Amino acid sequence: MNADFIPVIPRGVRLHFDRVRDIWVLLAPERTINLDPIGLAILNEVDGARSVSEIANDLAARYSAPVDHITTDMHEFLTGLMNRRIMEARP
């Protein structure tokens, strides 16, 4: 995955607020992934239209953080989800 790819949450996967545990989770078939604030911030920006670099620039501006740190965190997080087939990327 490079910075020009557009991350896409695939069909059957969705963000969900678990009221019992009082946390945001990513629901996928037969899996639930607890999200920390960073993961939630990233996934809230995934809209299927913007590239990784566009999302990283927006997050860097919002949180006054270096864009290279945001990009590295996003790459690790999204690659982990893609390896589990919970995230897709299109060129």
Give residue 2's pLDDT. 76
Give the model confidence (pLDDT) of 3-60 as tens digits. 789 999 999 999 999 999 999 999 999 999 999 999 999 999 999 999 999 999 999 9
Amino acid at 47: D
Closest CA to 87 of 35, 40, 26: 26
What's the CA gap between 15 and 28, in Å, rounded?
Answer: 9
Contact yes or no for 34/40 (Cβ under 8 A)? no
pLDDT surpassing 70 at residue 1? no
What's the CA gap between 30 and 17, in Å, rounded?
Answer: 17
What's the CA gap between 27 and 42, in Å, rounded?
Answer: 15
**What domains sit in the chain, N to C, each tagged with a CATH number?**
6-85 (1.10.10.1150)
**pLDDT, average across residues 57-78:** 95
Give the pair of three-digit tokens for residue 8: 């896409």
Give the pair of three-digit tokens for residue 37: 């604030």
As a whole number of Å, the end-to-end CA separation of the chain is 9
pTM of the model: 0.91
